[in-house]
Amino acid sequence: MGRPPSLNELLGSKSRIKKDGLVKPKFLSKSEREKLVEPLITVHDQQDSRSRPGKREVVELSEDEDRQDYVKPTVVKRTKFNFDWNEDSDTLAGYEPIVNQRLSSLLRNEQRKSALELTYMGKPWQEKTLEEMTDRDWRILKEDFEITTKGGSVENPLRNWHELGILGKELENILVKRLGYKEPTPIQRIAIPNICRKDKRDFLGIASTGSGKTLAFLIPIMTRMNNSQPRPIAVKTLEGPKAVILAPTRELAQQIQEEAKKMIDCWNLQHPQHAYQVVSIVGGHSLEEITFHLSKGIDILVATPGRLIDSLENHLFSAKQVETLVLDEADRMIDLGFEEQLTKILNILEASSEVTTRRQTVMFTATMSPSIERIANGYLHKPAYATVRGTEASVPQIRQIIYHILTDEQRFQKVKALLSEYSPPIIIFITYKKTADWLAQKFYQETSVKVTVLHGSKSQEQREHSLQLLRTGKVQVMIASNVAARGLDIPNVSLVINFQVPKQFEDYVHRIGRTGRAGSKGTAVSFLSDEENPEIVKAIWKYSRDNDPTNSNEFDYSLKTLYKLGQNEMNEIIL
């Protein structure tokens, strides 16, 4: 075998190049290039059967390409189009770019699940066994449920209640058969396996209201208890609770306790000898009452920060065995100024802890803010973070109607008219207690509608009673202050009326969020006068304009003129 030609030889004399059949590089003149155009179009047309008739193309060769060696029209530059083809000759008609759609959503639609897609994509995750799941499948699953995680080594979400065997058969039966929770919600999918980790890694979950956060921490607490030795009552009384849940308001604490009780009552039926106890201690309950409850031996304690500190300082129970601490609605706790109290609680728990392994801290919030970030950094140790973006089903389906009505009397007449259109339960929010009492009186005098009143000056017992009356349908209407605005879950509220708008815009969002929960539709009607804070009016107007899932929001035109809404928009954009 001869030696390979050197570079010099390759670039050498004309004769050598000719001998090897090579052609000397040569630049074409413009006229020579133009002559090439016609034959090359033919080549291109033959190759691309989808070329459209009537289309004229100009093929431009790059400067250094040789005319004779040219075989494929690689550099095709269309300089001129005549859109003169018929509709039916457009092969792109009906073309749907599947890359713009979520492939998994295509796959969920059986009709579109073509053999071709299956060949290229394999089975969708729903049809795979656990062993068949690839990293990519897990990613798609997370995308499907709009779950994002961070913090490294975060456990994969649940595909269903049973698969990983985390919950155990009995608990699964209670959830599905007794309580009717067929599938976990997205936040439950990601929170449960992460909170149930053996190493008790801390967890921070961010998900909107109504997304099922309560069970996302109650199920792991229950699971952990089921997996450990049953404790006789005497031991429980000595050791204290295994889990402590902190909630910002009394009503929320009680709601959590009730949700836990539903699950626990079913469990206790089958395990009467080791029945679990969940107790809530909130402001308004007497120390004697609390002591009585605690003496029965508790497993789960739900509390508001203030009451918990009282009880810990008065040594009403021991906190040495607390394995899981949950901070629910952390954003609300910060808003209400509980940050200092939280630090105190954590310090007391730390000092009294006797848990052999570490104590787990779990935090849930609907919004992420710098202060949440700060307490997460301060209280959580290398947590797994999981965020669930609002999915279609969890975007509250609330229709917002904003009326311009001046006097309380006129507003009451409007309320009466609305009550005949909507079914109970209905919540009417007021800002001043005086109005609440006046309104209740009006209902009593002029209608046969049964109402209950809930505001901060009522005793705890009265507040609980009010909620119970509304939940059980004994009254149709609840007149409430902001106390009831956040987090409370009263099923099937069809209508929320802002008889008076709140002082803070944020409360508007929370108030109207009492309706349209868990995928059902709701309506929020608000009354505005001539003398509102213009900032609030503007914020409500913008919010109702930008959040209109049913495309039927209404904002009284006279308010727009009065408060000059939308008039400076152009200036704002230009500036």
Site mask for ligand ADP (CB under 6 A), range 467-496, x = bound: ----------------------x-------
The answer to the question of residue 184 lying near ligand ADP (CB under 6 A) is yes
Check residue 209 for interaction with ligand ADP (CB under 6 A): yes
Q: Which residues pair with 325 in a beta bridge?
A: 244, 361
In angstroms, the Cα distances linking 321 to 225, 379, 565 are: 12, 18, 57
Contacts of ligand ADP in 504-543 (CB under 6 A): 518
Number of helices (H), then strands (E), belonging to the chain: the values are 23, 15
| Residue 215 binds ligand ADP, judged by CB under 6 A | yes
User: Could you tell which of Mg ion, ligand ADP, none binds residue 181, using a CB distance below 5 to 8 A set by kind?
Assistant: ligand ADP
CB 185 to ligand ADP: min, Å: 5
- Which residues have CB under 8 Å from 432's CB, separation 6+? 500
Residue span binding ligand ADP (CB under 6 A) among the ranges 9-17, 177-185, 233-241, 497-505: 177-185
- Please provide the distance, in angstroms rounded to a whole number, between the alpha carbons at the two ends of the chain: 77
Contact call for residues 362 and 324 (beta carbons, < 8 A): yes
Residue type, 378: G
Q: How many CB atoms lie within 10 A of CB 300?
A: 25
Q: Report the C-alpha gap between 459 and 555 in whole angstroms.
A: 37
Measured from the CB atom, the residue of 206 and 290 that comes closer to ligand ADP is 206
Output the smallest distance, CB 98 to ligand ADP, in A.
31
- Interface with Mg ion includes 213 (CB under 5 A)? yes
Stretch binding ligand ADP (CB under 6 A), from 19-27, 57-65, 184-192, 419-427: 184-192
- Which partner in Mg ion, ligand ADP, none is near 185 (CB below 5 to 8 A by kind)? ligand ADP
- Subset of 147-166 contacting ligand ADP (CB under 6 A): none
The length of the chain in residues reads: 575
Residue 142, binding choice from ligand ADP, Mg ion, none, Cβ under 5 to 8 Å by partner class: none
Give the x-and-dash track for 99-138 against ligand ADP (CB under 6 A): ----------------------------------------
Report the residue number, 211 or 304, with the smaller CB distance to ligand ADP. 211
Q: Could you please report the per-residue DSSP string of 293-341?
A: HHHT--SEEEE-HHHHHHHHHTTSS--TT--EEEETTHHHHHHTT-HHH
Rounded to an integer, what distance in angstroms lies between the CA atom of residue 449 and that of residue 460?
A: 24
Binding partner of residue 215 among Mg ion, ligand ADP, none, CB cut-off 5 to 8 Å per kind: ligand ADP
How far, CA to CA in Å, does 93 sit from each of 48, 53, 85, 87, 555? 17, 15, 12, 8, 41
| Residue 214 lies near ligand ADP (rule: CB under 6 A) | yes
Q: Which does 412 bind (CB under 5 to 8 A by kind): ligand ADP, Mg ion, none?
A: none
Stretch of 90-98, 208-216, 265-273, 438-446 contacting ligand ADP, by CB under 6 A: 208-216
Residue 27, amino acid? F
Taking each helix axis from N to C end, the angle separating 213-227 and 250-270, rounded to the nearest 10 degrees, works out to: 40
Taking CB under 6 A as the binding criterion, the range among 178-186, 276-284, 290-298, 343-351 that sits at the site for ligand ADP is 178-186
Picked from ligand ADP, Mg ion, none, the partner binding residue 518 (CB below 5 to 8 A depending on kind) is ligand ADP
Other Cβ atoms closer than 10 A to 520: 14
What is the amino acid identity at position 211? S
Residue 522 bridge partners (DSSP): 398
Residue type, 149: T
Q: Is 551 left (phi over 0), alpha (psi -120 to 50) or beta?
A: left
Q: How far is the CB of 88 from ligand ADP (least distance, A)?
A: 50
Q: Does 458 bind Mg ion (CB under 5 A)?
A: no
Smallest distance, ligand ADP to C-beta of residue 180, A: 7
Helix residue spans in 21-125 (DSSP H) = 30-47, 103-108, 115-121
Q: How far apart are CA 329 and CA 244, in angstroms?
A: 14
When asked if residue 185 is in the footprint of ligand ADP (CB under 6 A), the reply is yes
User: Quick one: 33 or 389, whose CB is closer to ligand ADP?
Assistant: 389
Residue (of 541, 489, 553, 544) closest to 515 by Cα position: 489
Residue of 193, 210, 248, 516 interacting with ligand ADP (CB under 6 A): 210
> Contact with ligand ADP (CB under 6 A): which of 156, 194, 211, 553?
211
Q: Which does 211 bind (CB under 5 to 8 A by kind): ligand ADP, Mg ion, none?
A: ligand ADP
Q: Which is nearer to Mg ion, 355 or 395 (CB)?
A: 395
Question: Residues interacting with Mg ion, by CB under 5 A?
Answer: 213
- Which chain residues interact with ligand ADP by CB under 6 A? 181, 184-185, 188, 207, 209-215, 489, 518
